[in-house]
Amino acid sequence: MSDPRPPGEVRIGDELTPLSRTVTQEQINAYAEASGDHNPIHLDPEFARGVGLPGTIAHGMLDMAILVEAVGRWAGAYERVVELGCRFSKPLLPGETITCSGRVVAVDPGTATLQLEATSSRGERVLTNGRAVVRTGD
């Protein structure tokens, strides 16, 4: 059965198409170079283990960039993402896959608010309390 609403109309309960990306150590290294964040917990496995981590971890902002990609794709253009925030709750390790998902929780004239989260392939929520506001319509 086809959806009777006009094209582009957003409703509460609409879901983001989940987006998954596998993060590699090479990608983490490239992010460190691009961002200038050379914290050894991202680059040096021995150092990371020495501070209680299982090895190097992805930058939280790299995880968040993947979340922005998911929201921008859903919105139809990255320029439509007005606001995005989240809590970095668990580390994402090299070789793991992050899956971003969400749903519309409010619709106002010209905008929609989404509740978001991202989960690792270990089943842990790496990003929580996610929220985005996107422009809707033309």
Q: Name which residue leads in pLDDT, 137 or 134.
A: 134
Q: 111: burial class by Cβ within 10 Å (0-12, 13-18, 19+)?
A: middle
pLDDT at residue 64 tops 90: yes
**Size of the chain in residues:** 138
Average pLDDT, integer, range 19-35: 97
Nearest to 64 by CA among 13, 128, 114, 14: 128
Domain map (residue ranges) of the chain = 19-24+58-135
Averaged pLDDT score across all residues of the chain: 93
Name the CATH superfamily, with its identifier, for domain 19-24+58-135. Hotdog Thioesterase (3.10.129.10)
Categorize the per-residue pLDDT at 137 as very low, low, confident or very high, splitting at 50, 70 and 90.
confident
- List pLDDT tens digits, range 85-128: 999 999 999 999 999 999 999 999 999 999 999 999 999 999 99
